[in-house]
Amino acid sequence: MEKHLADVKLIALDMDGTLLNDHHEVSEENKSAIKEAEAKGATVVLSTGRSLNTCRDYAVSLELSSYLVTVNGSEIWGPSGELVERNQVSTDHMQWMWDLSKEHKTGFWAISTDGTWHDEMPEDFHGKQWLKFGFNIEDDLIREKIMNDLSARQAFEISNSSPVNIEVNAIGINKAKGLRNVCELLGISMDNVMAVGDSLNDMAMIKEAGLGIAMGNAQPAVKEAADWVTGTNNESGVAQAIRKWVL
C-alpha cells in the first residue's frame, strides 16, 4: 500500500487494551521494542483517554521524553512536563451528561484538570475545569438511547474505550487532532506516524496516520479501518507491530 512508504518517525500508542496487558502492565517485549525504536530515531508518544495523572508513571518508566496526548486529545503535554494545549467541555454540558447518567442509572466517570471522578462528583463541581465525561453502560438499549441523545446535540466528540462505554469530549477533539499538533511541533507529517489502538477513541488516529494498526483484541470497526492487525494486548501486539514496520 502507498501509505507505508513514508518513514515511521512517530509511534503513537494507545494504553488500555493496547500497550498495557489486561493486568495494566507493559510487557518486557513491548518495553524493549520501544527502546529499540527510539534508539533508531523514532519518537514514541502515548496517546490515551487517560489523564496525565494516570499515565505519567508509565511514560516515566518507559523513559519517554516526548509529548503526551491525554484525555483523547483534550490535553497535550510537552517533553518538559509543560501544558501545550487544553480543550475543555463546558460545565453546562457536563451537568447535562451527569443528569443523563442519573436518569438512566448508568455508571460514569469524569475527568477534570485535577482529578478523575467515578460515579460521584466533587462538591465544587462548578468550580472545576472539565475535560471528558464517560458513561459505563452494560445495557445495549440504554447505550443506544444515550448515544442518540448525545449525537442530537451536535456538540460532542463521541467515542468509546470499550464496547460497553461511551466517551465524550469537546466537539472536534480526538487523538488524531492531538497528534496532528504534535507532528507540527516536531516538523513531521501524519504520513510519518504509526498509530496503534483498539477502540473507537483510536479510530481517528488510525485512519489519519500513515500506518494505522489495530490490536488483535480491537473492536471490529477499528480492525476494518486499520492497515494491519497485530497481536492482542496480552501477546505484546505493540512489539510485534514495531518489529514489523519500524525495526
Any idea what the CATH number is for the domain that residue 9 is in?
3.40.50.1000
Average pLDDT over the chain, rounded to an integer = 96
Same domain? 161 vs 41: no
Count structural domains, the chain: 2
Read out DSSP for 212-237? EEE-TTS-HHHHHHSSEE---TTTTH
**What whole-number distance in Å separates Cα of residue 222 and Cα of residue 213?**
9
Same domain? 184 vs 231: yes
Read out DSSP for the chain? -GGGGS---EEEE-TBTTTB-TTS-B-HHHHHHHHHHHHTT-EEEEE-SS-HHHHHHHHHHTT--S-EEEGGGTEEE-TTS-EEEE-PBPHHHHHHHHHHHHHTT-EEEEEETTEEEESS--TTGGGSPEEEEEEE---HHHHHHHHHHHHHHT-EEEE-SSTTEEEEEETT-SHHHHHHHHHHHHT--GGGEEEEESSGGGHHHHHHSSEEEE-TTS-HHHHHHSSEE---TTTTHHHHHHHHHT-
Question: Residue 3: pLDDT above 50?
Answer: no
Range of the structural domain that residue 149 is part of? 91-170
As beta bridge partners, residue 214 has: 197, 229
Question: Residue 105: pLDDT above 50?
Answer: yes
Last residue of a domain, one of 124, 150, 170: 170
* pTM higher than the cut 0.85: yes
Residues labelled catalytic? 14
Same domain? 180 vs 213: yes
Same domain? 144 vs 164: yes
Q: Which of 236, 207, 210, 209 is nearest to 221 (CA)?
A: 207
Q: Which of 65, 17, 36 is nearest to 243 (CA)?
A: 36
Same domain? 79 vs 108: no
Same domain? 161 vs 193: no
pLDDT in tens, 166-175: 999 999 999 9
Same domain? 76 vs 180: yes
C-beta separation of 159 from 174 below 8 A: yes
Same domain? 18 vs 76: yes
Other CB atoms within a 10 A radius of the CB of residue 41 amount to 10
pLDDT in tens, 184-238: 999 999 999 999 999 999 999 999 999 999 999 999 999 999 999 999 999 999 9
C-beta separation of 149 from 46 below 8 A: no
Mean pLDDT calculated for residue range 134-154:
98
Q: Residue 96 is which amino acid?
A: W
Last residue of a domain, one of 170, 195, 213: 170
Grid cell listed for 39? 534508539
Same domain? 165 vs 181: no
Last residue of a domain, one of 114, 148, 170: 170
Same domain? 7 vs 79: yes
pLDDT in tens, 24-77: 999 999 999 999 999 999 999 999 999 999 999 999 999 999 999 999 999 999
Same domain? 161 vs 189: no
C-beta separation of 215 from 17 below 8 A: yes
Same domain? 135 vs 107: yes
Any idea what the CATH number is for the domain that residue 154 is in?
3.30.1240.10
Other CB atoms within a 10 A radius of the CB of residue 113 amount to 16
